[in-house]
Amino acid sequence: MTSRLALPALAAALLLASLPLAGAQEMGPWYGGFEADLPVGEQSITIELDQLAGGTAGMASVVMFLSEAAPCRTTAMRREFCMDLWARTDQPLISGEVRGVRFTPTTATVAFTIPGDDAVRIAEITAEAGRYRLFMLHPDRGVDMDIAMTRRAHSCQSSMCDEGRLDALRRQPARFSGPLVDPAFLARYPALARAPSGLLPASRQQAAPPPAAPGGSTRWRVESLDDGRSMGELYLGGQSWQLSGGGQVDSAGFGPLTNVAVAPRAALGGGFSLDITFHADGSGERREGILLLGFPRQDGIVEGTLVEDRHVSLVRLRRDDGFDADAGADAEAEGDMPGIGVWGPAYRLRNVPEGRRLSLRDRPSRDGQAVGAMGGDASEILVLGCTPEIDTMTFEKADRAGKRDLLATAWCEVEWSGMRGHVPGTYLDPILEGDRS
């Protein structure tokens, strides 16, 4: 088999075979090739674009390479994106299936999928003062990559390509935009609202509330995931993913410890997103951003991505309100911990006969050894996960009866009063908003 360390050089050959030569006089300014500035011999992302003069739709080719000898050592791409590629290193080169291409004077946007994954990703190249940058988006994770690119000649400028390949683009250019003209499709990519593409309708740009007071909320220290440095603090309150609040966070535009306001945005397949607005002191100027967060860990830490305009930071939110990761669930605090799906609410017991106790077992089976027990009036129970897994969005959208039905199909690992073990989900009742009033 060909050495993968030499395979980046094959990208051009693959592109040459598929992209035809066209008359330079009829091509638009985005016609060319673009290489992400990644470690040579370890990773490569090559995008070639075909734009007819004056065209807003076009054609593209996306080819990616990841060496099996250097798995995911770069910090340039989000680790989950790197692992998506690493899982496919049985293929010499990973060629994306392009779903749509759109051009503006300053951006080229490509929607594509990779083999074996139905998630439609967006690659957006921006141009400013002769410099190019790649902004890679995933519909659930948000920003997967933000990196400089180097422009080079289109491969068809130095090789003979089939002149008829662009005929369909000339005849029916509109169909080559694909889903990039559909507002409902674009709304799945919250970070795209911060990109200068102009693809999202103006109605998606919503004003954020003024900075919120921290009273009654949970305090979270914000740290850089890259080097651990402090970036400020947030005070968040609410239930499930619908969190709001404020605080002070370092801003790429306004400097250290800028006042921010936070509001709920959307539930995502792998977590949730929050709108975050940075307010400059005194001037009234503000910058919009998004905070994309994964599920909280049991140690009181949440990891995610902070997007401010075109600046992207990997961040860690560390709970800082006296929370003890080694202690049992706290009745007051657990309700404030952000979560979604089965992780969202606290729980109480139901269906336990009066005077009886429910055993916690060391594995999700009635044959498991009992490691503790809860009385029938136990409440503020923390669910750590269920087997089989309960779909997050299905659970989130269900009413109380629906949530109970989903829980009844599974065993769930729970923590209560310092004890941890597995119980049948049919005994768990979610404590929902309004139950505490």
Positive or negative: CA dihedral 325, 391, 437, 221: positive
With cut-offs at 50, 70 and 90, classify the pLDDT of residue 289.
Answer: confident
With cut-offs at 50, 70 and 90, classify the pLDDT of residue 326.
Answer: very low
- From the list 370, 414, 355, the residue with the least C-alpha distance to 430 is 414
Please say if the pLDDT value at position 52 is more than 70: yes
pLDDT computed for residue 30 by the predictor: 95
Mean pLDDT of 182-195: 64
Q: Per the confidence metrics, is the pTM higher than 0.75?
A: no
pLDDT computed for residue 145 by the predictor: 84
Domains and CATH numbers, the chain: 4-204 (no CATH), 218-319 (2.40.128), 340-431 (2.30.30.40)
CA distance 59 to 169: 8
Please say if the pLDDT value at position 274 is more than 70: yes
For the record, the structure tokens of 35 come out as: 């290489």
With cut-offs at 50, 70 and 90, classify the pLDDT of residue 211.
Answer: very low
Cβ–Cβ < 8 Å for 327, 319: no
**pLDDT above 90: percentage of residues in the chain:** 22
With cut-offs at 50, 70 and 90, classify the pLDDT of residue 436.
Answer: low
Q: Which amino acid is at 30?
A: W
pLDDT tens-place string over residues 130-147: 899 998 888 877 788 888
In the block, which residue shows the tokens 């004077």? 105
The three-state DSSP-derived secondary structure of the chain is CCCHHHHHHHHHHHHHHHCCCCCHHHECCCCEEEEECCCCCCEEEEEEEECECCCCECEEEEEEEECCCCCCCCCCECHHHHHHHHCCCCCCCEECEEEEEEECCCEEEEEEEECCEEEEEEEEEEEECCEEEEEEEECCCEEEEEEEEEEECCHHHCCCCCHHHHHHHHHCHHHHHHHHHCHHHHCCCHHHHHCCCCCCCHHHCCCCCCCCCCCCCEEEEEEECCCCCEEEEEEEEEECCEEEEEEEEEECCCEEEEEEEEEEEEEECCEEEEEEEEECCCCCCEEEEEEEEECCCCCCEEEEEEEECCEEEEEEEEECCCCCCCCCCCCCCHHHCCCCHHHCCEEEECCCCCCCEEEEECCCCCCCCEEEEEECCCCCEEEEEEECCCCHHHHHHCCHHHHHHHHCCCEEEEEECCEEEEEEHHHEEEECCCCCC
